[in-house]
Amino acid sequence: MTVLSPIKKSKDIYTVIDIGNNKISCLIGTSVKTNDVQIKVLGFGQHASLGMNNGLVTNMHQIANSIARAVEGAETMVGFPIKNVICSLAGGRPITKIIRNELKIENGKIVKSDLAKIHKINKFKQISNYELLSSTPIKYLIDNNNYVDNPLGMFSNNLIADISYTYGNKAILKNIATAVELCHLSVEKFIISPEASGASTMIKDERKNGAIIIDLGESITSIGVFINDEIVFSDSIPVGGVHITSDIVRGLGTKSEDAEKVKILHGSALSNETDEFTNIEVPIISDQGDIHNQKIPKAMLTAIIKPRIEEIFELIKNRLDQFQILSNPIDKIVLCGGGANLNNIRELASTYFKTNVRIGRPIGLIGLPEIMQTPTFACLAGLLIKSIEKEKTPMLKEKNSGLFSYFGKIGNWFDENL
């Protein structure tokens, strides 16, 4: 790892932490104002994640120590200590909920105070055991349900705003925040994993026109749907890469660490014609309990891996089908997370979902360490991008009546069922 010269501390420097089940990663960066506002990476650190399971804190002191070690690595690179961090959230099944707010315009002309009022109408709408993390306007309507990009200064008797609210599990938020505080740090905010991953792996046109992010993590697979450059739906399933490794352990009779190595070196989501005749060496536990290398056809390994990947895709499809998202003109899926490194997973996903699929890697950052230029670090990079983004003005960028009409129905479904 390259050690950078000490960097002058400023208020424009942000620190983010991706708290996963396999590793804790920390990234420090700042905005660089050129012709376009860009983001420069200043420091990076990571450490094995101990004390986490399925996104839940299982040992407070172990996870706090892992966080401290990751942050320490990043601090060493920048040359000064940090105090505040922004964290990822994957566990506890975060909720993205669309709510329609309506406001009568007293003077007939929409002013800034009207926008402030309409954003606050349902801001404190409670969901049992959940806490509001963020809210973002998706679209505005004025009289006769006419969509407008920016309602400021327009004349109308009524104003309607569809706003996306994101919630996180209170207990999980509190436990993670407490672990961070044990490191003498403070959590500024939480950003859900699919929102961060989409920010770092998708270009703006993809998020605007409609795209689905699938973050294949260690023990949690996160899903996010983007429309008009905002996340409008999120979900997660408690299945990930560790379950593939467990299948290999059971199927081949090997140790977990050896199964992980075999998965990384030889694993594939699809077989080809030569796999039956290509042998790989696997350390097998014999009946006597000792370890010996045994040659197996590569096709046997794929036969273990593929059903689990298909199960994950089926669970994802079921979650999306609840809202009929795949029946809409969203023809782009981006895969990221450690699971996206598996050979031929893009091809299997493309066939399974019958749409365009690509592998997402972090984009839009200057000085990104080589180790981070993989799908594994999509969430971490996205946390930094989201942190440095300017606060958005309460206005819609572009309209798309077909998709908006559809997501209005989703908002009504949420209101009736949650």
pLDDT at 351: 95
Question: Does residue 37 or residue 115 have the better pLDDT?
Answer: 115
Interstrand relation of 332-336 and 356-359 (parallel, antiparallel or unpaired): parallel
Instruction: Dump pLDDT digits (tens) for 68-93.
Output: 999 999 999 999 999 999 999 999 99
Residues facing 191 on adjacent strands: 88
Is the pLDDT at 387 greater than 60? The verdict is yes
Quick one: pLDDT at residue 128?
A: 87
Q: Which CATH class is domain 95-168+396-417?
A: alpha beta
Instruction: Average the pLDDT over each of 283-292, 363-372, 401-410 and give the range with the smallest value.
Output: 401-410
CB 227 within 8 A of CB 328: no
Reference 382, options 132, 176, 192; nearest CA is 192
**Which residues, at least 6 apart from 172, have a Cβ–Cβ distance to it below 8 Å?**
55, 56, 57, 89, 91, 92
**Could you report the per-residue pLDDT of 129-150, keeping only the tens digit for each?**
999 998 888 889 998 788 888 8
The pLDDT score that the predictor gives to residue 35 is 53
Residue labelled with tokens 């056809």: 297
CA atoms within 13 A on the CB side of 391: 3
Q: Are 6 and 374 in contact (CB under 8 A)?
A: no
Question: Mean pLDDT lowest for which of 178-192, 221-235, 390-404?
Answer: 390-404
Q: Which two tokens stand for residue 150?
A: 């920016």
Q: How far apart are CA 214 and CA 334, in angstroms?
A: 6
- Contacts within 8 Å (CB) and 24+ apart, 61-64: 61/182, 63/19, 63/24, 63/179, 64/179, 64/180, 64/182, 64/183
Percent residues over pLDDT 70 in the chain: 87
- pLDDT tens for each residue of 241-280: 999 999 999 999 999 999 999 999 999 999 988 989 999 9
Tell me how far apart the alpha carbons of residues 339 and 335 are, in angstroms, rounded to a whole number. Answer: 8
Q: Give percent above pLDDT 90 in the chain.
A: 65
Would you list the domain boundaries of the chain? Answer: 95-168+396-417
pLDDT digits 0-9 by tens, 87-133: 999 999 998 888 889 999 988 899 999 988 888 887 666 788 999 99
Whether 5 has a pLDDT exceeding 80, the answer reads: no
Give mean pLDDT, residues 156-171: 92
